[in-house]
């Protein structure tokens, strides 16, 4: 877990730069935030969190530590902002899961995922910690493995606006937002 936290921090400065770029484009696109849980949403399906964009402020501060743990050591990547948006560090929407909020960040270089981390995950009772220690390393593992195939999108049993994969997908979406 510690190793992961450090890896996350190391990418933050790149992230902040990147989101300053996104924000300049954001209002012009049709992408919606608050539509999750709108009038057509099934009860309990699209309720919470789908539209939350966690770190989209334009500030240059690198002190956005989602876990509230170690101090950030920004050595991040800054090779993004080319036309395709194909390199950089991207953070998915924070997604409410039954265990609590989950947020995934991916590092993409030349269109390939080179790193993926859950930057926010539920902490709390013992059960939560069990889930974390089981799930989060595997999430990295899966995505880095998938990297060999350069994933554009993730398919699976119908996701609502919740869940890990929704979050991973939203990181992939953000990579090209």
Partner 1 sequence: MTDPAGLPFVTAAPDDVEAAPEQPRRAWVEHVMGMPVSFHVRGPLARDQSDGAGGAVGAAVRRGIADLHRTDEIFSTYRADSQISRLRRGELTADHCDPWVREVIALCGEARERTGGWFDADLPDSAGVRRFDPTGLVKGWAIERVTRELADALADHDVLVNAGGDLAVRCRRTDTPDWRLGIEDPFDRTQLLATVPLRSGGMATSGTAARGAHILDPHTGRRLDRAGSITVIGPDLLWVDVHATAAFAMGAECVDYLAALEGHLSFVVHPDGTTATITGT
Cβ proximity to partner 1: between 27 and 60 the closer is: 27
Our finding on whether 121 is near partner 1 (CB under 8 A) is no
Q: State the chain's maximal CA–CA distance in angstroms.
A: 45
Our finding on whether 142 is near partner 1 (CB under 8 A) is yes
Task: Among 5, 51, 101, 129, indicate the residue that binds partner 1 (CB under 8 A).
Answer: 51
Cβ proximity to partner 1: between 69 and 81 the closer is: 81
Q: How far apart are CA 56 and CA 22, in angstroms?
A: 7
Minimum CB separation from partner 1 for residue 177, in Å?
5
Q: How far apart are CA 76 and CA 55, in angstroms?
A: 15
Our finding on whether 145 is near partner 1 (CB under 8 A) is yes
Neighbouring-strand partners of residue 96 = 101
Which positions ≥6 away from 89 have C-beta within 8 Å? Answer: 11, 12, 14, 15, 18, 76, 77, 80, 105, 106, 107, 108
Binders of partner 1 in range 68-107 (CB under 8 A): 83-86
Q: What is the number of alpha carbons within 13 Å of residue 10 lying toward its C-beta? A: 10
Q: Count of CB atoms within 10 A of residue 82's CB?
A: 10
Minimum CB separation from partner 1 for residue 6, in Å?
21
Our finding on whether 60 is near partner 1 (CB under 8 A) is no
Instruction: From 92, 8, 104, select the one nearest 50 (Cα to Cα).
Output: 92
Our finding on whether 143 is near partner 1 (CB under 8 A) is yes
Minimum CB separation from partner 1 for residue 40, in Å?
4
What residues make contact with partner 1 under the rule CB under 8 A? 25, 28-32, 35-43, 45-46, 50-51, 83-86, 111, 135-136, 138-139, 141-143, 145-146, 148-161, 163-166, 169-170, 172-177
């Amino acid at each position: 877990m510690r190793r992961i936290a450090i890896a996350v921090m190391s990418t933050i400065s790149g992230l902040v730069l990147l989101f300053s770029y996104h924000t300049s484009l954001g209002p012009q696109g049709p992408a919606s935030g608050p539509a999750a849980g709108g009038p057509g949403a099934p009860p309990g399906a699209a309720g919470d969190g789908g539209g939350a964009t966690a770190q989209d402020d334009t500030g240059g501060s690198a002190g956005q530590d989602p876990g509230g743990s170690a101090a950030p050591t920004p050595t991040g990547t800054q090779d993004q902002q080319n036309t395709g948006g194909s390199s950089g560090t991207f953070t998915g929407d924070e997604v409410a899961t039954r265990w609590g909020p989950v947020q995934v960040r991916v590092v993409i270089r030349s269109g390939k995922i080179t790193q993926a981390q859950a930057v926010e995950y539920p902490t709390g009772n013992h059960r939560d910690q069990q889930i974390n220690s089981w799930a989060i390393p595997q999430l990295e593992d899966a995505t880095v493995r998938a990297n060999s195939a350069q994933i554009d999108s993730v398919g699976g049993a119908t996701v609502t606006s919740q869940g890990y994969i929704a979050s991973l997908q939203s990181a992939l979406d953000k990579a090209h937002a």
